[in-house]
Amino acid sequence: MAEEKEWEETVEPKTDFGPPHYSIMLHPVIKNNYGKWKYHEVVRPGVIKRVAESGDVIYVVRFGSPRLLSIYTVRDLCDIADKYSDGYLRFTSRHNVEFFLTDPDKIEDLIKEVQEKVGFPCGGTWDATKGEYGLTNIVHTQGWVHCHTPATDASGIVKAVMDELYEYFTDHKLPALCRISLACCANMCGAVHASDISMVGVHRKVPKIDDDAVRRTCEIPSTVAACPTGALKPDMKRKTVILDKDKCMYCGNCYTMCPGMPIFDPENDGVAILVGGKLSDARYPPQLSKVVVPWLPNNPPRWPEVVQTVKKILETWAAHAEKYERVAEWIHRIGWERFFELTGLEFTEKLIEDYHRTPYLYTTFRTSAAFRW
Amino acid sequence: MTEVELPETPLLDELEKGPWPSFVKEIKKAAIESEKAMKAGKKIKLPGAAKGLLKVLELSYKDKRTHWKHGGIVSVVGYGGGVIGRYCDLEDKVPEVWHFHTIRVNMPAGWFYTTKALRAICDAWEKWGSGLTNMHGSTGDIILLGTRTEHLQPMANALAYLDKFYGSPAPFDIGGSGSALRTPSACMGPALCEFACYDTLDLCYDLTMTYQNELHRPMWPYKFKIKCSGCPNDCVAAKARADFAIIGTWKDEIQIDQEAVKEYAKIIDIEKQVVEKCPTKAISWDGKELKIDNKNCIRCMHCINVMPKALKPGKERGATILVGGKAPFVDGAIIGWVAIPFIEVKKPYNEIKEILEAIWEWWDEEGKFRERFGELIWRKGMEEFLKVIGRKADVRMVYAPRNNPFIFWRELNP
């Protein structure tokens, strides 16, 4: 018996209509006061009061989320939004979720209900006026949940780190902004290369070349061109590639290009820790993050070495930094000598730059929107 | 009702403990609830997918490695991007996730939703996929995590008719992937933020609609990302994560409400928290009056951030465009640099579109395979790039002039 087709299988495909227009997704108070806001005020961790020129007030209440959500949790969030924020909600650029309340008396009920129903904590905010900062969500990637090139997992480490640093999310306990980010490989999906503290999955062994797979599936010239150190050469005779092991620093870009160059190695893959990246222009120019720990092992499910190192860096910085002084600014004041001394991290030759491919000219370009008219 | 049986996952179970919301609980919730829904008579094509993911992930935790293979190329009819093929290397052990493709769905600008829209997406994904999502992917899309090749087109159709058959206020289109314009994203901008210097949501929506073809049908050397930040706080990390970062700014004086400053003086130490932290010492406070030397101000936002009731960006507003931002491969990570110090951001955004189109034409002509636009500028030089966009060199593009005399004098050597 032929199975009956669903309408989705027989309907005419429709293309190029784009996302919904944002205006139909806005809470009426937000729509009415669009572009006409007077000021905001952080009421308590997780709760931001926004006052419009019209006199309208809306409370934006923020909750941490694991980013990977089941549709059943999204539906729970919808139930809560229907009850408390008139059927509207939004997500932030760091995967938190926000509700909009017009009645401040309902804030505590909302916080309680979100905690009970989906277990999401209220927080992830900061208050620049007082100079008291919460730790917000960790931007992260797919890891072993969905990617084929990771050197580490993403969701697992994020959970382990946030469990340990939970109190910083729900309260404003830090002297300045501190963004923690994680990328599961050197492709660095996300802004891991410009975060206060970042974790990046790294390999430490050369790829194992599977000549058969290279012949079957790889376009050799573009695979060779993908190697940043010129460690790959075409092997014309055998119709494959040769690797100069001395030139390879295990970036994994050749495996991205070519299934015949698998590079993962469970005992040697792991996590590098970087610090001092910064994106906003406030006070101090944007910075790329810098490696301070070359490698820590993958130790699922709790990654204790990674968690303890991140915690150590965060708490050392928090104990010594002045108000508003982000990790990069703190290091700028005290110097790298003192940074390694205070954090107890070891400086080794592995931390001295040798990625000679990046042109020096880049350091002269203005990587910031801060300049004088 | 019969209990739903889950695979044994002793390692992942550890990550159900602790105060932070657990992604393991989310996967288990999807596994349990989708099976329950199916038993209750709902149409569910992949009831075992979330369960399969649990099995694969537990094995990854045990083996300390991924179990996903290089993806085959999959797509929906008419598009060349937006879907990422993913296959498991354990097809015999866990056939339910042998295919586990991702669909990127273009989010509304600023990630604002009605519950009707979200419920509709959930209902369609419950039917055609694993029931797992990311809210959101790093570029901004809704990530529908895990379905089979034969369900991609029906799911795309469900999204395209989401308003007609699932109760959404509007349909949702697929987002970008591959060597195409990726899904543009924007900070919340004027919807909520009093700092916004232009309408980030509207620009984001307008560019997305104008360039649907470039987004859905990869035609370029590599990917190209646009992000819209309403002010230099850069709350979507545009300068690190977008080839073309549109960052709100202003040209005239910061607006000061002296009475409100005095109110702040009662609760904060203006000298210490504001004046001392100004990077150019452009701001001063004598206990009575706050003064800003706007000629010296570099619009870093710090003073406005600390005293939002008293200080506001100026009235002559627009954006600074930073180009080249990207992750490391191949020539190193880039925070974008100044290409256009000031540009007007007014509907229908023709000036911005002319620049984008000039860039794309040049890059498509000159770019090598998988050469990002920022790397092309490094290879060809800023002089050529500025000619392409019809702009003059400006000292604001650099932190410092060159430190060597090896200058091209092409006009003398034709």
Predicted local confidence at residue A193, as pLDDT = 95
Query: With an 8 Å Cβ cutoff, is A238 touching chain B?
Result: no
Q: What is the C-alpha separation between B397 and B401, in angstroms, rounded?
A: 10
Q: 3-state DSSP call for residue A181?
A: strand
Taking each helix axis as running N to C, give the angle between helix B49-63 and helix B23-39, from 0 to 180 degrees, rounded to the nearest 10: 150
Q: How many CB pairs under 8 A join A and B?
A: 456
Contact B207, B349 (CB under 8 A): yes
Contact check, Cβ <8 Å, B191/A64 = no
Enter the CATH code of domain A133-204+266-364: 3.30.413.10
Model pLDDT, residue A191: 76
Measure A74 CA to nearest chain B CA, in Å: 7
Residue with tokens 């299988």: A9
* pLDDT of A200 over the 80 cut: yes
Pick the residue from chain A with its C-alpha nearest to B308: A39
Cβ neighbours of B193 in A, within 8 Å:
37, 40
For every one of its 414 residues, what pLDDT tens digit does chain B have, with 9 covering 90 and above? 458 899 999 999 999 999 999 999 999 999 999 999 999 999 999 999 999 999 999 999 999 999 999 878 999 999 999 999 999 999 899 999 999 999 999 999 999 999 999 999 999 999 999 999 999 999 999 999 999 999 999 999 999 999 999 999 999 999 999 999 999 999 999 999 999 999 999 999 999 999 999 999 999 999 999 999 999 999 999 999 999 999 999 999 999 999 999 999 999 999 999 999 999 999 999 999 999 999 999 999 999 999 999 999 999 999 999 999 999 999 999 999 999 999 999 999 999 999 999 999 999 999 999 999 999 999 999 999 999 999 999 999 999 999 999 999 999 998
Is the CB of residue A66 less than 8 Å from the CB of residue B20? yes
Distance (Å, rounded) from C-alpha A195 to C-alpha A119? 27
B115-128 and B149-160 helices, crossing angle to 10° = 160
> Which residue bears the tokens 């052990």?
B93
- Cβ pair B292, B224 in contact under 8 A: no
**Quick one: CA torsion of B356, B359, B362, B365, rounded to 10 degrees?**
-70
With residue B150 as reference, give the H or E element that holds it. Answer: helix B149-160
3-state SS class at A371: coil
Q: Are A223 and A259 in contact (CB under 8 A)?
A: no
**Would you call the peptide bond into A214 cis, given omega within 30 degrees of 0 as the criterion?**
no
Taking CB atoms and an 8 Å limit, are A6 and B78 in contact across chains?
no
User: Chain B contacts of A190, Cβ < 8 Å?
Assistant: 138, 241
Please tell me if the domain spanning A25-123 has the same topology as the one spanning A211-257.
Answer: yes
Extended beta strands in chain A, E state? 37-44, 47-52, 57-63, 68-70, 88-91, 97-101, 126-127, 132-133, 180-183, 197-202, 232-235, 240-243, 270-275, 290-297
Q: Omega before B190 cis (within 30°)?
A: no
Q: Are strands B255-256 and B311-312 parallel, antiparallel or unpaired?
A: antiparallel
| Percent of chain A surpassing pLDDT 90 | 98
Compute the residue count for chain A: 373
Using 50, 70 and 90 to split pLDDT, how confident is the model at A22?
very high
Indicate whether this complex's ipTM tops 0.95: yes
Averaged over A312-337, what is the pLDDT? 98
* Structural domain A25-123, CATH architecture: 2-Layer Sandwich (3.30)
Determine the distance in angstroms separating the CA of A55 from the nearest CA of chain B, rounded to an integer: 14
Q: Tell me the sheet residues that pair with B35.
A: none
Express each pLDDT in A279-322 by its tens digit.
999 999 999 999 999 999 999 999 999 999 999 999 999 999 99
Say if CB A192 and CB A338 are below 8 A apart. no
Contact A131 B273 (CB under 8 A): yes
- The rounded distance, in Å, linking the Cα atoms of A227 and A215 is 18
Dist CA B132 CA B143 (whole Å): 8
Per-residue pLDDT, A2: 59
Dihedral, A243, A246, A249, A251 alpha carbons, nearest 10: 0
The answer to whether A28 and B185 are in contact (CB under 8 A) is: no
Q: At residue A59, does pLDDT exceed 90?
A: yes
CATH architecture assignment, domain A211-257: 2-Layer Sandwich (3.30)
Residue A5 forms contact with B (CB below 8 Å): no
Domains in chain A: boundaries: 25-123, 133-204+266-364, 211-257
Is the peptide bond between B308 and the residue preceding it cis, with omega within 30 degrees of 0? Answer: no
> Do residues A157 and A192 touch, judged by C-beta distance below 8 A?
no
Inter-helix orientation angle B373-380/B350-366, to 10°: 70
What are the chain B neighbours of A158 within 8 Å (beta carbons)?
A: 23
Report the pLDDT value the prediction gives residue B125, as an integer from 0 to 100.
Answer: 98
C-alpha B368/C-alpha B136 separation (Å) is: 31
Q: Does the beta carbon of B97 lie under 8 angstroms from any beta carbon of chain A?
A: no
Q: Are A346 and A340 in contact (CB under 8 A)?
A: yes
User: Nearest CA to CA, how far is A180 from chain B (Å)?
Assistant: 13
- Please answer yes or no on whether B300 and A370 come within 8 Å at the CB atom: yes
Residue B2: the pLDDT is: 56
Structure-block tokens of residue B379: 């290879």
**Contact between residue B280 and residue B344 where contact means Cβ atoms under 8 Å apart:** no
| Residue A1 pLDDT > 60 | no
Going from the C-alpha of B355 to that of each of A90, B125, B280, the distances in angstroms are: 31, 38, 32
User: What residues 122-181 of chain B have any CB closer than 8 A to a CB of chain A?
Assistant: 122, 125-128, 131-136, 138, 140, 145-146, 153-158, 160-161, 165, 168-173
- Angle at alpha carbon of residue A233, lines to A232 and A236, rounded to 5°: 145
**What is the maximum alpha-carbon separation in chain B?**
85
**Which chain B positions have a beta carbon within 8 Å of A82's beta carbon?**
115
B331 closest CB neighbour out of A9, A149, A357: A357
CA distances from A14 to A203, B177, B204, B353 (A): 43, 19, 22, 26
